[in-house]
């Protein structure tokens, strides 16, 4: 019996878990995947939006601006990569100028600071690769970029260090209201809790509708991307947005916190809540649209493509509240963009709802600081040599594209909620994220995982479940 069960270890569930871990309360997170950050939180633009997009007065607008303000301090407490680089929305015709002006007014209504309309000379001075057709641009200095995996993993790790239990490979199949709480049936047994937080991403409607007669409906809205090599990373210095359209913010071009260039996403409503495949049409649409606002995009430097699903609820706002007719069931639904930006504020709001309902008391021993994985690249040569002498694994490079050593991989495996798969190592260290996309380092990372976890090479997967990489090996050869 738990006080609170959170469904989903994405950025929303992990932020709620971390905020709740400040209190004397027994919390458990149930996640169907093998790791944190396996849903939409791993496949997005990684932008910390300034907050001019959402409709004034909406919960989305409020939590966007609040989350943006919290991100700097949080990145220091939890050591994940975040840079406040600013963003530009590009307007290419005089007819569209009122739309840009309206966006600025909307941002000001939402409380976004420092918004400015730039003329073409000012915009091109900031971003020389902008299209020469630029008529004006909305500059938002408070926008930023964040490592989505870094943020999600840091929140979850810190929650775990403060006593929250995480149960992976545990798929919730049904929820029933029972005496004094809820019964959750999963593929690994039954769980009971007095309160449930429904942070199941694109599946949040399914769980809500199991306990409430006021139905929600979430449409998966697919966004596809190209990721470009680090050689293209400085093509722009800030996030470059198109003017927003009916289905969202349009195709953007942005540097990432790790120095790559990201181009996308598309926006297409689909039926399949697992439909994260990329498509020929989607990628062709990115190629066509990306060049409209940024010149000479080096699309030959694409190293991979991927897609994520926005959890678009029909009302187009975040729903973070107790379900009217299911006391104790707290929805965290419709968390589409800017859900990553808003996550710190989403976590806070969920914890506030439960603090009041459950009269929670603060824990005196809450530890809010978390050490990130040590990155020797940030060290001077002298410091790096000292580290290698003390711990030789840091001198053994495993991923040559990203220069990731065995030391970092060992840290990723042995820390709280450590990596158990190739993708788990990749999201924590970047081993396998570079130009060769794990072509060279996969076998070496697998050997380390097998050795450290005490399992055979056949048991190492790419991403849990049935994604094993080796079958039918001759053990004598290995």
Enumerate the active-site residues.
49
Give the shortest CB-400-to-ligand FAD separation in angstroms.
29
Among 4, 5, 9, 290, binds ligand FAD (CB under 6 A): 9
What's the chain's Rg over C-alpha atoms?
22
Inter-residue contact 282 to 268 (CB < 8 Å): yes
CA distance 11 to 34: 15
Window 219-248: residues binding ligand FAD (CB under 6 A): 223
51 is a contact residue toward ligand FAD (CB under 6 A) = no
Token pair 């788990």 is found at: 424
Phi, psi of 240 (to 5 degrees): -110, 115
Toward ligand FAD, which CB reaches closer, 172 or 425?
172
* Nearer residue to ligand FAD within complex by CB, 201 or 424: 201
Least distance (Å) between residue 78 CB and ligand FAD: 16
Name which position in 172, 216, 323, 345 contacts ligand FAD (CB under 6 A): 172
Q: Does 319 bind ligand FAD (CB under 6 A)?
A: no
What H or E segment, with its residue span, contains residue 354? helix 339-358
Beta-carbon contacts of residue 73 (< 8 Å; ≥ 6 apart): none
CB of 116 to ligand FAD, least distance (A): 21
Q: Smaller CB distance to ligand FAD: residue 5 or 441? A: 5
Please report, as residue ranges, which positions from 333 to 392 form the binding site for ligand FAD (by CB under 6 A).
335-341
Which residue has tokens 């929670």? 360
- 3-class DSSP state of 242: coil
* Contact status: 40 vs ligand FAD (CB under 6 A): yes
Helix, strand, or coil (residue 206) = helix
Region of 44-52, 101-109, 189-197, 387-395 interacting with ligand FAD (CB under 6 A) = 44-52
Contact 330, 324 (CB under 8 A): no
Considering the rule CB under 6 A, would residue 201 count as an interface residue with ligand FAD?
yes
- Maximum distance among all Cα pairs of the chain, rounded to whole angstroms: 72
- Give the helix ranges, DSSP H, for 111-201: 120-126, 148-161
* Other CB atoms within 10 A of residue 98 CB: 10
- Using CB under 6 A, which of 4, 11, 17, 353 touches ligand FAD? 11
Find, among 427, 372, 340, the residue nearest to 79 by Cα: 372
CB of 338 to ligand FAD, least distance (A): 4
Among 16, 20, 28, 47, binds ligand FAD (CB under 6 A): 47
- Could you list the residues that contact ligand FAD (CB under 6 A)? 7-13, 30-33, 38-41, 44-47, 49, 171-172, 199-201, 203, 223, 265, 308-310, 335-341
């Amino acid at each position: 019996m738990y006080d609170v069960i959170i469904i989903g270890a994405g950025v929303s569930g992990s932020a709620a878990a971390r905020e709740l871990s400040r209190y004397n309360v027994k919390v458990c997170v149930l996640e169907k995947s093998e790791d944190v950050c396996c849903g939409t939180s791993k496949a997005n633009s990684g932008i910390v939006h300034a907050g001019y997009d959402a409709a004034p007065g909406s919960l989305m607008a409020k939590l966007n601006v609040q989350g943006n303000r919290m991100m700097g301090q949080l990145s220091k407490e939890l050591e994940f990569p975040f840079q406040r680089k600013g963003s530009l929305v590009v307007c290419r015709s005089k007819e569209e100028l009122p739309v840009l002006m309206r966006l600025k007014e909307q941002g000001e209504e939402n409380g976004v600071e420092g918004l400015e309309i730039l003329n073409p000379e000012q915009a091109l001075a900031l971003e020389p690769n902008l299209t020469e057709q630029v008529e004006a641009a909305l500059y938002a200095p408070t926008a930023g970029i964040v490592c989505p995996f870094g943020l999600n993993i840091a929140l979850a790790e810190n929650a775990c260090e403060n006593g929250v239990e995480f149960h992976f490979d545990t798929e919730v199949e049904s929820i029933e209201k029972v005496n004094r709480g809820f019964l959750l049936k999963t593929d690994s047994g039954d769980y009971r809790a007095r309160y449930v937080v429904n942070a199941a991403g694109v599946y949040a409607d399914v769980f809500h509708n199991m306990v409430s007669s006021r139905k929600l409906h979430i449409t998966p809205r697919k966004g596809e991307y190209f990721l470009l090599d680090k050689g293209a990373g400085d093509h722009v210095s800030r996030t470059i947005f198109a003017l927003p359209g009916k289905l969202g913010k349009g195709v953007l071009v942005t540097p990432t916190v790790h120095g790559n260039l990201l181009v996308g996403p598309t926006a297409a409503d689909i039926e399949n809540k697992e439909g994260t495949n990329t498509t020929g049409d989607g990628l062709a649409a990115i190629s066509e649209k990306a060049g409209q606002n940024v010149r000479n995009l080096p699309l030959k430097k694409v190293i991979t493509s991927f897609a994520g699903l926005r959890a678009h609820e029909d009302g187009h706002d975040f729903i973070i509240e107790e379900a009217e007719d299911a006391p104790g069931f707290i929805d965290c639904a419709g968390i589409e963009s800017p859900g990553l930006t808003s996550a710190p504020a989403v976590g806070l709001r969920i914890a506030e709802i439960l603090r009041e309902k459950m009269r929670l008391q603060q824990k005196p021993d809450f530890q809010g600081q978390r050490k990130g994985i040590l990155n020797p690249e940030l060290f001077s040569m002298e410091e790096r040599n000292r580290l290698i002498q003390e711990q030789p694994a840091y001198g053994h490079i495993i991923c040559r594209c990203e220069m990731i050593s065995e030391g970092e991989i060992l840290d990723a495996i042995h820390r709280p909620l450590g990596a158990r798969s190739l993708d788990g190592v990749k999201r924590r260290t970047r081993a396998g994220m570079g130009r060769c996309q794990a072509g060279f380092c996969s076998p070496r990372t697998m050997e380390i995982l097998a050795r450290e976890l005490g399992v055979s090479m056949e048991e190492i997967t790419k991403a849990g479940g049935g994604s094993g990489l080796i079958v039918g090996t001759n053990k004598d050869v290995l």
